[in-house]
Amino acid sequence: MFVPLRYAKSRIRQFTALLALTLSSLMSLPSLAQDGPPQEVFPPDASSGPVVVVISGQTGTPNYRKFARAVAGLGYYTVLIDGKDILTRAQDGAQNLRTVVARAQAAQKGSPDKVMVIGFSQGGGGVLAHAVAMPDLMKAAVVYYPATSWSRNIAGLVGRVQIPILVLAAERDTYSNCCLVASMREMESAAKARQLPLELVVYPNADHGFNLDGQSYRGDDTADAWRRTVGMLTRYHPVK
């Protein structure tokens, strides 16, 4: 069948444009093997700053952007990631965390020094599962109402702690039974018995997510938790 030259050239141009668009789309997709899980970066105003990794709860990163911005406002290169990528059986959560840290340390506004990590709920569980046993990368950690229901051996979990950690718990937390204060107290007892650097603070009238906008928000407890978080940052990971 005869095909006019002008029509053939038009089809070639269309195919070339489609191929270029497809390749561009593929190149823009995140590479889990090379770059780790998706992340949001909040750089400091200064030329560079120490790295802080913030790990969200099960609801994802949007509810924690305000917190990440506040940390960046203190002078830290702050990276926000989803807790579902760290406390997970579907992925290698420990490797995901290591990849995120390496990426931040190599960033122009980051720092090659060790980092500090702050986790909430599922993200806090990820800190307990992985970060506390990474003294080669982590200086210290703070966890807000961390998920502990995934662990069948709280004492064994605490035995892995190799960095200072502050646990901020809510006395009235019954959310999905993931983060019960009884498990936090069990962690505290196990840490004291082994003389491990774990500090527990319990807010008697607080519920899960007490520092997030919503029905459970408690201003006084949020302010105290933030003060203690800043204290940990200042003590173990100061901005120079």
DSSP state of 27: H
In one-letter notation, the amino acid at residue 89 is R
Within 13 A of 20's CA, how many CA atoms are on the CB side? 6
Q: How far is CA 189 from the centre of its chain?
A: 26
Helix (H/G/I), strand (E/B), else coil: 21: helix
Among 92, 107, 88, residue whose Cα is nearest residue 39:
107
Measure the CA–CA gap between 157 and 238, rounded to whole angstroms.
28
Question: pLDDT digit string (tens) for 54-75?
Answer: 999 999 999 999 999 999 999 9
Question: pLDDT digit string (tens) for 30-51?
Answer: 333 347 899 999 999 999 999 9
10: which 2 tokens? 């038009």
Q: How confident is the model at residue 19 (pLDDT cuts 50, 70, 90)?
A: very low
Measure the CA–CA gap between 160 and 196, rounded to whole angstroms.
9
Mean pLDDT of 103-123: 97
**All structural domains of the chain with their residue ranges:** 31-236
The answer for residues whose C-beta is within 8 angstroms of residue 14's C-beta and 6 or more apart is none
Measure the CA–CA gap between 126 and 117, rounded to whole angstroms.
10
Choice among 26-30, 101-105, 163-167 with the minimum mean pLDDT: 26-30
The architecture of the domain spanning 31-236 is 3-Layer(aba) Sandwich (3.40)
Count of CB atoms situated within 10 Å of the CB of 114: 19
Instruction: Please write down the HEC assignment for all residues of 94-105.
Output: HHHHHHHHHHHH
Q: What's residue 11's pLDDT? A: 54
Question: pLDDT digit string (tens) for 180-190?
Answer: 999 999 999 99
Q: What's residue 1's pLDDT? A: 43
